[in-house]
Structure 1
C-alpha cells in the first residue's frame, strides 16, 4: 500500500470514530486538532497534528502552538511533546492517530503533572482596580438599538443634518413653563 492509500484509510477511520466528538477537529485532510480534557479544565490542551507526505512511514508533526495552549508553560509543553514523540517512535509505520489521541487522554494527568498555569501580568492602579478593567470601562460605548438608530435617522435629512426648527416644540414648552412660573411669583 502507498502512503496516500494508508492516509485515506486512516482518515476514513478517524472520521467514523470521532464523528460528532467535539474534541476532534479536522482542519484539512492531513491536519487535525484534538483537545485533551474538558474546556473548563486548567489541565486541558490541544494537540495539532499534521501528516507529512510519507506518513505513516515518517513521523507526523505534532505541535502545541494553538492559542488555547497559551496558559501552558514552555517546560510542560516540552514534556508533553517528548512523551508523545516516544509514542510516535513506537508506532512508526502504522496508522497511529487514534493511538496517540487515546494515549494522551489516558495519560493526561502524567503529562500535566508539573503544570502551573501561566498567568499574564496585569498592572494595578492605586485605587485597587486593575488597568485592564479600567480600560474596558473607558472603551465601552453606549450601544443603540435598531429602533433608536432608525429614530435618529428619520429625524435627519439623511446627510446627518437636522431639519430647521426640529426642536421648536421643546423651546415653546420650556418658555411656556417658565412664563407660568414667573406669573405665579408676582
Structure 2
C-alpha cells in the first residue's frame, strides 16, 4: 500500500474510535489534536500531531504549541516530546497514532512528574485584583437600563409582585382556536 492509502485507513480508524470524544479533534485530514488528561487537571496537555506526506514510513510531527500548554515549563515539554519521538521511532512503518495517544495517557504521570506550573503575567494580574480591598478599586456592576416606555409596558403586563397575571395569554389561545376551528367543524 502507498503512504496515502495507509493514512486514509488510519484516519478512518481514528474517526471511528474517537467519534464524539471531546479529547480528539481533527484539524484537517493530516493534522490532529489530542488532549491527555481532564480539562481541570493541572497536568493535562494537548498534543498537536501532523502527518508528513510519507507517514507512516516517517514519524509524525508532534508539538506542544497549543495555547492550552502555556502553563507547562519548556523542560517538561521537551521531555514529553523526546519520549513521544522515541515511541514514534519504535513504531515506524505502522499506523501509530492510537498507540501514541494511549501511551501518552498511560504515562501522563511520569511525563508530568517534574511539572511546575508556569506563572504568567495574566494570572498575576487577576490575582492582584482579588487582593485589593478598597471600594474605589472595584468596579460596580452595571445594571441594564430600561427606558420609561419599557418600564411602563413591563408594569402594565405584571401585577404588583412582578408576575404575569394568570391567563394573560388566554386571549391568544382563544384567538388561535377561533382561526383553526374546533373538532366539530367537520
Report the Cα distance in structure 2 between the residues aligned to 1:14 and 1:149, rounded to whole angstroms: 56
Rg: which structure is higher? 1
Report the Cα distance in structure 2 between the residues aligned to 1:38 and 1:79, rounded to whole angstroms: 20
Report the Cα distance in structure 2 between the residues aligned to 1:54 and 1:149, rounded to whole angstroms: 65
Q: How does 1:121-136 map onto structure 2 within 5 Å?
A: 121=121, 122=124, 128-129=131-132
Q: How does 1:9-88 map onto structure 2 within 5 Å?
A: 9-88=9-88
TM-score, with length taken from structure 1: 0.70
Q: Please give the root-mean-square deviation of Cα atoms over the aligned residues, in Å.
A: 2.4
- Any stretches of 5+ residues in structure 1 without a counterpart? 153-186
Distance apart, 1:128 and its partner CA: 4.5
Q: Which stretches of structure 1, 4 residues or longer, exceed 4 Å deviation after superposition? A: 149-152
- State the Cα deviation string for residues 25-80 of structure 1 (Å, max 9, x = none): 11110000000000110000000000011111111110100010011000000000
TM-score, with length taken from structure 2: 0.70
Report the Cα distance in structure 2 between the residues aligned to 1:3 and 1:64, rounded to whole angstroms: 25
- Any stretches of 5+ residues in structure 2 without a counterpart? 151-186
